[in-house]
Chains A and B, each alone.
Chain A
């Protein structure tokens, strides 16, 4: 028996003896190394999932959850990691196949197909609403055109993003300055769609994205665990192995998970309530659209939903997640589409696939439409959705809000919903297959540089930096109001009355405006709101009467002292009241007679170098007054000033279908340009019942002189307060000539008489033919005498 020498034991190394008795041990060791290596290698490869065995039942998912390193999560551990869909779902479902699905694989190289709703980068301050898409859709910019990296994109839009794709970059794809090492990657969120638990919370997902807790977001949103902490506050050098910082348990707290232990069994397997076919609520979390003017109770769901179909009844896919979008011609755009049966025509009328194979109609009980009295040309030239989907055409397209663009469906303390972009529907345009199709659209608004015919967009941050306070016109007002809050013993909330409205500072530091019938146009005065009543900030008094003026002057001193704390005050605050000027000199209020101001009451201004400056500069006063409650972000004057700071005639601003550039003599000129054209995408839902389709009332639903279908006024909308905007009839978007359709519509006024004429003529001709036929038969049969 060989013993290790003392030195060998000290070295602590396994020492290979030349004695033959140790060879079996050595071989066992080698075998163990080989076995373990093979085991690790096998763990690194994705096991081939078993094909569907034909069972119609979703297997019960009582499975171990694993973290991103493939380690089983033990919920009772301290600081367990969040679960990873890539490792937890992978043994049975090929993650690498799934992440190539339609929801996850957007990129310039992926087939564009029919345009869909783009992402919209919105910046209220700069009046920007610019469409972005990784797919090469017309009118949309790739995020890189605005300098947005995958990290920036994930932060901006991860709230309504299902994970994967650009949010799960490889090491090489991580841009410098991004914080993927801190936040982790945002994996495909399988439970975001397939979790049947009612605790699946899209708002929690959005919150975690905002906090940059990407690797924790799925765990938090699914309700499997509570996630605390914020990656956004951590140092860029932090990584998951650092764990929590014991010296900071208040501010820069790393994210951590506390799992719901009731979900786990004794073997640390979690029960996941999986829905193979997701509930509509999962789809609507990101794909909902609702008209802005319709109250919730009055909003009708899609007729297919009312009939018992789910979104996934038509929008199906297999494990590839190559979702069937269900539009006509999808087979031509995506030859590998799983099925072309699920377009409107495919289900209801049948037809042929792109490969000319027959489609049998009637799936899921789809009724066959008789389309009584509908001329064939309508089915050749119009898509089904033209008559059956979206709102009925009106004098103007209606405003609609969508989940992804207007940030709907995220609830919590903060209000996520944003008014911009202003999306409108329906506007009828030619689809990629040449058929008239209802679309949603909005007009892009952004600052840009013109180079010949091309206009390239500028980053909002760059515009903000160049424009400075031009884009913050409310600042002088908010600063003054904020300073007035500091007035000792102020009995109410300071407000400003200007141009028929009252202005008050809100919690975000901006201004809330409300209509105030009592205020006169052109008037500006400072006041207080107390218990619903409006009190003047400086009550009227006679400064010449020392006794009566004593108390008000004490209050004036307090006001002026508070106003001296105004941020960036351009001078000393001064009050003029009935011929006297009040200002603070060496902590005391100085009262000086000013006979020329005898008629002035309660007027504030700034005094600098002996000059009086308006309390609120004229530009800011005009701008705040114009924009208040207008729903707009910019005035023309602001645009002109910003263009001047951006430098040069090549700087432009696009909004409302027009391009604005500097004209001569402090003016702004607008013109048409292709870049200002609206970006549009077809709508397919909500589908209305057949009795609410266009044409149910006859041909004149569309074909008449005042038809909303052809002659709706489509006016360009945007964040700019301006009369200059694109205005076109609906027929212009259809590439149809309005005069012809006016004439065609007029012909329908006489159409009933025309039918009567035709009917009468047909009856007369028919009767003559019948008589001749009977006569001929009679003669032939010898029943009547032949002509003499």
Chain B
């Protein structure tokens, strides 16, 4: 359990730092190009992060974010599918919050009404994910959306992934780990698997949930959050020195 908690902290924290540091680089790129400031420095980054954080958690920003999300979902999930998307997001948010909260703060594990709601929202998650996948999977196929402009994501390892490609990967990762979540939850309810298998399924469920959370964070960053206007589709993901161009 300690390993899981450490991994959760490091991976989620690492991803958040990674994505935000890239945005910082993009925001700082002009000054860096003119030599007014280094391309990246940790103190400057944290200062920028604090400032952005304060700006984000204002009523104005939150309502703007809600409007963006709403308009995005209306565009991409019109009609009844919007409900499926809303259900997916709501159920995921609750499950992530309850799962993390109990994992970190309650050694006994999830219990009580929280567990009941967690399991119940799991059903909603399963149905809405199936609906979303069924109707929208095609849109996340290769070459379907976005430009083919390449720019490294997991640089310096992968150098030629565009933002839209990363979004697709995040989508399919979401789908895959969501499937694992549903399968392990369902498996533990069936009188088929032995106790050892039950224990293993709980472990898989836990780590898969973490992977699902990371995929969702990446998806949200790449798909929902607008890129820095100045740099469009490029260089958001990867610092300029690692791009091909």
Q: Which residues of A contact B (CB under 8 A)?
A: 369-377, 379, 698, 740, 743-744, 747, 751, 754-755, 757-762, 764-766, 768-769, 772, 775-776, 779, 786-787
Contact = CB atoms under 8 A, between A and B. Distances in A.
B137 A768 contact: yes
B195 A370 contact: yes
Contacts of B143: 786-787
Q: Which 5 A-B pairs have the closest CB atoms?
A: A373-B191, A761-B126, A371-B195, A787-B143, A764-B130
A734 to B, nearest CB: 13
B130 A765 contact: yes
Interface string B149-168: 00000000000000000000
Interface string B194-213: 11001100100000000000
B134 A768 contact: yes
Interface stretch (B61-69, B73-81, B108-116, B217-225): B108-116
Interface stretch (B11-19, B174-182, B237-245): B174-182
B189 A755 contact: yes
Contacts of A766: 179, 183
Given A743-B116, A768-B133, A768-B137, A376 B198 contact: yes
Contacts of A765: 126, 129-130, 133, 175, 178-179, 182
B102 to A, nearest CB: 12
B140 to A, nearest CB: 8
**A interface SS class:** helix
A379 B195 contact: yes
Contacts of A379: 195
Contacts of B182: 758, 761-762, 765
A372 B194 CA distance: 4
A772 B141 contact: yes
A772 B195 contact: no
Interface in B117-132: 119-120, 122-123, 126-127, 129-130
Nearest to A736: B112
Interface string B82-115: 0000000000000000000000000001011100
Contact of A761 (B129, B193, B195): B129
A705 to B, nearest CB: 15
B191 A372 contact: yes
B52 interface: no
A787 B146 CA distance: 14
With most chain B CB atoms within 10 A of its CB, the pick from A372, A775, A786 is A372
Nearest to B128: A761
Contacts of B142: 776, 779, 786-787
Given A762-B179, A769-B179, A370 B186 contact: no
Contacts of B129: 761, 765
Nearest to A377: B109
Contact of A372 (B172, B175, B192): B192
Contacts of B192: 372-373
Nearest to B141: A787
A698 B191 contact: yes
Nearest to A780: B142
Contacts of A371: 194-195, 198
Contacts of B134: 764, 768
Nearest to A775: B141
Contact of A787 (B112, B123, B144): B144
A786 B144 CA distance: 11
Nearest to B202: A376
Contacts of B193: 372-373
B122 A758 contact: yes
B188 interface: yes
Given A747-B116, A764-B134, A772 B186 contact: no
Given A373-B190, A374-B198, A769 B176 contact: yes
Contacts of A369: 195
Interface residues of B, number: 40
18 contacts: A369-B195, A371-B194, A372-B193, A373-B190, A373-B198, A375-B188, A376-B199, A747-B119, A751-B189, A754-B189, A758-B122, A758-B126, A764-B130, A769-B175, A769-B176, A772-B172, A776-B142, A787-B143
B185 interface: yes
Contact of A762 (B111, B172, B183, B202): B183
B123 A758 contact: yes
A377 B115 CA distance: 12
Contacts of B176: 769
A640 B142 CA distance: 89
Nearest to B178: A765
A740 B195 CA distance: 26
Nearest to A369: B195
A744 B114 CA distance: 11
Contacts of B111: 377
A372 B202 CA distance: 14
A764 B190 contact: no
Contacts of A373: 188-193, 198
Contacts of B179: 762, 765-766, 769
A430 B138 CA distance: 55
Contact of B126 (A374, A757, A786): A757
Contacts of B109: 377
B48 to A, nearest CB: 38
Nearest to B172: A772
A297 to B, nearest CB: 34
A468 B119 CA distance: 65
Contacts of A775: 141
A41 B128 CA distance: 91
Given A757-B123, A779-B142, A764 B133 contact: yes
Nearest to A374: B195
With most chain B CB atoms within 10 A of its CB, the pick from A369, A371, A698, A761 is A761
Contacts of A757: 123, 126-127
Nearest to B142: A787
A369 B195 CA distance: 8
Contacts of A374: 195, 198
A375 B175 CA distance: 26
A662 B182 CA distance: 63
A744 B115 CA distance: 10
A434 to B, nearest CB: 10
Contact of B195 (A376, A751, A779, A786): A376
Contacts of B113: 740, 743
B16 to A, nearest CB: 27
Nearest to A744: B116
Contact of A370 (B116, B122, B137, B194): B194
B97 to A, nearest CB: 21
